[in-house]
Copies of this chain bind each other. A is one copy, B any other.
């Protein structure tokens, strides 16, 4: 299987210019001076997550006669909003299939970008999306299992390499693995001495187990659903797993308390609102320093779409900067 190349990622960067924000690396004065930290704040993308990048690249890559008919996606999370927004920017229609029990605010946000939202029972999401695609001849934009999506997410890694070529370690959340695959491909091409470390919640650490086993290990949905990090409950596909086994130097698993603490630190020290999934890489920096190479570290904050009540609750507790 051919992995996504740096040329595909560079081409994606050209396509998303002006659509995705070119996020800066933010130096963290509160970090351990012996292993300085920069945050890559992808929560500041227009829809609040990196997924804008992959969705836009995938849509831009469609042949004109296909793209003009519109696109379809199934998601209850950030991918839904990313596809809706990217379609709006491309001037085409998006049909987003969501489970019946999706919170109203997510449905409203997706509709606010001009998308048609189709609500179905949770078990019928995928089949409903495929049926829609077939009926109307629409392209389906998958959340991670597609090389154009991976190349789009890889632009995050390209920017890190441009801004901090001497980076030592890049910490990146892993769920379906699109982001980690793309970022890893870019970093390994441009900064071959840097370690790329995946981060998962302990409660959804299927990729850590899979890489140790040398093959994909399935965790039942109910098991993965226990984590507060609701954006990290997917599992890699064959395509992304093949990338991860090549580009990752390790996987760190973080606890629920560590995720909550990282959300507090990002808010009070980094002035950023991170969703639980988005705070996992920072949690790995704060609480698992012994598990990856020291030196110049980048932690990717992947998204910031958190329920305000949960965020306020998390903020109410005391933060802790782990001892160096």
Contacts and interface: CB of A to CB of B under 8 A. Distances in A.
Interface of A: 21-24, 26-27, 29-30, 41, 43-44, 46-48, 85, 112-113, 264, 267-268, 270-274, 304-305, 308, 311-312, 315-316, 319
Nearest to A47: B29
Contacts of A24: 21-24, 44
Contacts of A268: 273, 308
A73 B73 CA distance: 56
Nearest to A318: B308
A273 B266 CA distance: 9
Given A21-B24, A312-B312, A315-B311, A43 B271 contact: yes
B113 A29 contact: yes
Nearest to A268: B308
12 contacts: A21-B27, A24-B24, A26-B44, A29-B85, A41-B44, A43-B271, A44-B270, A267-B273, A267-B311, A268-B308, A271-B304, A272-B272
Nearest to A312: B315
Nearest to A85: B29
A18 to B, nearest CB: 10
Contacts of A26: 21, 44, 46
A316 B313 CA distance: 9
Given A21-B26, A264-B308, A270-B273, 8 more contacts: A24-B24, A26-B44, A29-B46, A44-B271, A44-B272, A271-B304, A273-B273, A315-B315
Contacts of A46: 26-27, 29
A43 B266 CA distance: 12
Contacts of A112: 29-30
Nearest to A41: B44
Contact of A48 (B85, B264, B271, B274): B271
A315 B304 contact: no
Contacts of A270: 44, 273
A264 B312 CA distance: 11
A169 B12 CA distance: 32
A41 B264 CA distance: 19
B304 A312 contact: no
Contacts of A23: 24
A30 to B, nearest CB: 8
A269 to B, nearest CB: 8
A115 to B, nearest CB: 13
Contacts of A22: 24
A316 B27 CA distance: 30
Contacts of A312: 312, 315-316
A148 to B, nearest CB: 23
